[in-house]
Structure 1
Amino acid sequence: VQQLRAFSKWTWHLDEVFVKVNGKRHYLWRAVDHEGEMLEAVVSKRRNKAAALKFRKKLMKRHGCAEAIVRDRFASYKAALREMGVLEKQQTGRCLNNRVENSHLPFRRRERAMQCFRRMRSLQKFASVHSSVYNHCNQERSLASRDTFKLARAVALSEWRQLCSG
């Protein structure tokens, strides 16, 4: 199990996004690793310590412990981390959390195209599916040559088609 969770020893970036569900404000808590891959997305009605603690526990159950946790200066994160006893692992700073802030952009584009969500459950399902598809198909075009990018995109597309057919 530890070998499977070895990837979780990295830096996590935590943030929350305001999302309207049927005209009411809800919160989508998101965790991104140091490479920009989405780890977890949880929807809640509240934005408090209990919701942050629930999100953090779910994240740890699935991915183990992180080496460092980058967060914004939202007080609920600090309270939840203090209660879990990992306050020394946190990092806050002016531009440290840009990785997770930028990961909201593809989600927001897709959300705008869908126009709105009717139920909390559909938002939760959409967020988890969208993140897994985006993680699989995102090839970081700016970091690779054209030939490498096209090859990686073709491999990801063929894997995706194989997953969808079977």
Structure 2
Amino acid sequence: MNGKRPYLWRAVNDEGGILEILVQSHRNKRAALKLLRKLLKKHGSVPDTVVTDKLPSYGAAVRELNLSNFHGLGGKKNNRAGADR
């Protein structure tokens, strides 16, 4: 798009339903914060767990929002097709 590569940020729930989609030009802490704040504001509560891939910007954003206790990393946890149901 206009010579820049867009990045798709997508949040899904544990059942595979899409909660939020955000298209941004960066994959950094600021972009991750924007997505997480938008999700928290929209749903109005702190989730039981936040599972992300190993992108460092997710970890930085989760730490800034004091959600580190709820953060789980990668593996098959964030793979809807590979997750045990």
Shared fold per TM-score greater than 0.5: yes
Give the TM-score taking structure 1 as reference length: 0.46
What's 1:24 paired with? 4
Distance (Å, rounded) in 1 between the aligned partners of 2:76 and 2:3: 31
Q: Does residue 86 of structure 1 match 2:28?
A: no
Gaps of 5+ in 2: none
What's 2:33 paired with? 53
Structure whose residues are more often helix by fraction: 1
Matched residue count: 80
Code of the aligned partner of 1:47: R
SS class of match (1:25): coil
Distance (Å, rounded) in 2 between the aligned partners of 1:95 and 1:70: 10
Identity among equivalent pairs (%)? 49
SS class of match (1:24): coil
What's 1:75 paired with? 56
SS class of match (2:62): helix
Gaps of 5+ in 1: 1-20, 103-166
The structure 1 segments of at least 4 consecutive aligned residues displaced by more than 6 Å after TM superposition are none
Distance (Å, rounded) in 2 between the aligned partners of 1:29 and 1:94: 18
Pair member with larger Rg: 1
* CA shift digits 1:121-142 (9 cap, x unpaired): xxxxxxxxxxxxxxxxxxxxxx
Code of the aligned partner of 2:20: E
Over 3 Å counting, the alpha-carbon distance change for 1:43 and 1:93 in structure 2 is closer
**8 Å CA contact 2:4, 2:25 repeated in 1:** no
